[in-house]
């Protein structure tokens, strides 16, 4: 395979776009990027930086080459894109395919004392309220802004037997388990607070959490239960999608432009900051996509089409779409042979989505030089696809948890938002099948998608 001039000459993927930027043909890496960006078979090129280069080449009538950075699942890719106009079509050549580390938030120690709090608050060194979370007003019906700048005693009435708010500073100790009453409603609450320090080591104020006491006789040793969260509604996710997608896309595009120094030279530090902003924006766009998906699959009437499909063919396609990422990670994907077949009943697109998620996870946790094995088998009335890696494995106590919403075994690892496996299992079960895992620490993991055999 030949390459084009530019960084990363090792591999070139090609595609042809029509006059409306729709994919007429595409190599698997470009097809996967298009899918990851939310594009379907009949949609225009969904990867915005590539689409912009194609439109520029069409408008100018000349070949245009640019270096771009695009999102691929939870990570980013540096690409070199060439767009060449040809009689109403655009011929794309994409090389580079250099993985960049996925964005992750700065790790901060978990605030165990405040987990499950009804609302949070902060004060300055004089115990004046400087912050009240919005949950306070929504839950208890008062205006948090009206209390900012007021003494902490304006929010809470303390039991004289346990001391007033100034004892918090005097004792310089966390306020774990202290009871009080919320002045705006007279509701009984339990408080937890810790001292905040300034840059010189002095006391800057308090950071606190408030827990509603549901029963008058609730003891101090009881652990407050987390707030029950209602399911996502269609109106909420639709509004979230509309409110966030356009500004986030603009943030990512502008940050990428700054990082690429498109408008002239800037200091290296500022270019790196802009790159971090773009990473974070793409991470949030992925989260928006997952939340919209979540709303759909959690509806009581959510169903998927039951049509005949070949699971071995779906597995081969998923592995092919991830071949570039596997090559960049130094991992081999062993897939079912072309002669293998496995008839099943399910939804082709959703089955492909599940297997892309499973194989992508296996690649992420496989060591360099390792192998991911994708195999098919028939067991009684079930058609099975197994994805096996040789990574660090999953402890037995963590295996049920990885299929829950927003759960990750190690949140400090880059990429992911804890929704992929939850969505994958819900999709499998909506097709009348299931998704399971078998693993031992240090020995890798095997995820099995099972659908009804045909």
Residue 314 has pLDDT above 60, yes or no: yes
Sign of the torsion formed by the C-alpha atoms of 347, 351, 353 and 354: positive
8 A C-beta contact, residue 176 and residue 115: no
Q: What is the dihedral of CA 300, 306, 310, 316, to 10 degrees?
A: -30
Inter-axis angle of helices 348-365 and 311-321, nearest 10: 50
| Cα separation values, 150 from 80, 128, 130, 170, 319, Å | 57, 5, 8, 19, 60
What tens digit of pLDDT does each residue of 29-42 get?
Answer: 898 888 877 777 77
DSSP 9-24: TT-EEEEEE-TTSBEE
137: tokens are: 């007003």
8 A C-beta contact, residue 213 and residue 196: no
| Cα separation values, 239 from 260, 286, 294, Å | 32, 16, 14
Q: Highest-confidence range of 4-13, 101-110, 322-331, by mean pLDDT?
A: 322-331
First to last CA, the chain: 40
- pLDDT bucket at 235, cuts 50 / 70 / 90: low
pLDDT in the model for residue 313: 93
Give the position of tokens 């300055």.
124
Instruction: State which H helix or E strand residue 387 sits in.
Output: strand 382-389
Helices (H) and strands (E) in the chain, counts: 11, 18
pLDDT mean over 281-305: 71
As a whole number of angstroms, the distance between CA 241 and CA 234 comes to 10
**Percent of the chain predicted with pLDDT > 90:** 21
Domains of the chain, by residue range, sit at: 12-100, 112-212, 234-297, 307-452
Least confident of 214-228, 241-255, 321-335: 214-228
8 A C-beta contact, residue 421 and residue 409: no
Q: Identical fold at 12-100 and 112-212?
A: yes
Angle at 443 between CA 437 and CA 447, to 5 degrees: 20
**Fold annotation for 12-100:** Beta-Lactamase (3.30.450)
Give the position of tokens 């079960």.
429
pLDDT in the model for residue 328: 82
451: tokens are: 């659908």
Q: Which CATH class is domain 112-212?
A: alpha beta
3-state secondary structure of 437: strand
3-state secondary structure of 60: helix
DSSP 86-138: ETTEEEEEEEEEEEEPPP-PPP----GGGTT-SEEEEE-TT-BEEEE-HHHHH
- pLDDT bucket at 387, cuts 50 / 70 / 90: very high
Q: Which CATH class is domain 307-452?
A: alpha beta
What tens digit of pLDDT does each residue of 336-348 get?
Answer: 999 999 999 998 8
Instruction: State which H helix or E strand residue 73 sits in.
Output: none
409 or 250, which is more confident: 250
What tens digit of pLDDT does each residue of 260-290 get?
Answer: 777 778 887 777 777 778 777 776 776 677 6
Least confident of 20-29, 158-167, 307-316: 158-167
As a whole number of angstroms, the distance between CA 44 and CA 65 comes to 20
What tens digit of pLDDT does each residue of 110-153 get?
Answer: 444 455 677 888 888 788 888 887 666 666 667 777 788 888 88
């Amino acid at each position: 395979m030949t390459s084009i001039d530019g960084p990363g000459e090792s591999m070139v993927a090609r595609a042809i776009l029509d006059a409306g930027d729709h994919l007429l043909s595409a190599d698997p890496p470009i097809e996967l990027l298009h899918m990851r960006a939310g594009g379907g078979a009949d949609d225009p090129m969904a990867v915005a930086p590539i689409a912009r280069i194609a439109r520029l080449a069409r408008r100018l009538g000349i070949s245009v080459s640019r270096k771009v950075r695009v999102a691929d699942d939870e990570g980013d890719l540096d690409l070199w894109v060439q767009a060449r106009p040809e009689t109403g079509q655009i011929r794309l050549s994409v090389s580079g395919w250099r993985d960049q580390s996925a964005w992750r938030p700065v790790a901060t120690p978990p605030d165990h004392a405040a987990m499950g709090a009804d609302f949070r608050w902060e004060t300055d060194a004089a115990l004046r309220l400087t912050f009240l979370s919005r949950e306070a007003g929504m839950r208890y019906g008062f205006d948090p802004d009206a209390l900012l700048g007021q003494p902490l005693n304006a929010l809470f009435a303390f039991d004289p037997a346990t001391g007033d708010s100034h004892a918090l500073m005097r004792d310089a100790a966390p306020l774990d388990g202290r009871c009080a009453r919320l002045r705006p409603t007279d509701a009984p609450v339990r408080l937890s607070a810790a001292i905040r320090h300034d840059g010189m080591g002095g006391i800057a104020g308090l950071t606190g959490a408030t827990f509603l006491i549901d029963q008058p006789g609730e003891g101090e040793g009881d652990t407050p239960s987390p707030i029950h969260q209602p399911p996502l509604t269609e109106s909420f996710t639709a509004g979230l999608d509309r409110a966030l997608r356009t500004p986030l896309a603009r943030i990512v595009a502008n940050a990428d432009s700054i990082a690429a120094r498109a408008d002239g030279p800037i200091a290296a530090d500022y270019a790196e900051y802009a790159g971090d902003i773009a990473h974070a924006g793409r991470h949030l766009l992925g989260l928006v996509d997952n939340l919209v998906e979540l709303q759909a699959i959690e509806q009581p009437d959510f169903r998927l089409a039951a049509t005949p499909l070949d699971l071995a063919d779906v597995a081969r396609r998923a592995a092919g779409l991830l071949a570039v990422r596997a090559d960049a990670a130094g991992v081999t994907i062993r897939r079912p042979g072309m002669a293998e077949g496995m008839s099943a009943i399910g939804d082709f697109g959703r089955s492909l989505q599940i297997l892309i998620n499973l194989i992508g996870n296996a690649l992420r946790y496989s060591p360099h030089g390792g192998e991911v094995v994708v195999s098919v088998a028939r067991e009684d009335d079930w058609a099975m696809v197994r994805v096996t890696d040789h990574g660090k494995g999953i402890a037995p106590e963590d295996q049920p948890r990885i299929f829950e919403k927003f759960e990750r075994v190690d949140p400090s690892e880059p990429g992911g938002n804890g929704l992929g496996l939850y969505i994958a299992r819900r999709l499998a079960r909506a097709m009348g099948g299931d998704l399971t895992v078998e693993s031992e620490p240090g020995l890798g993991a095997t995820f099995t998608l099972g659908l009804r055999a045909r």
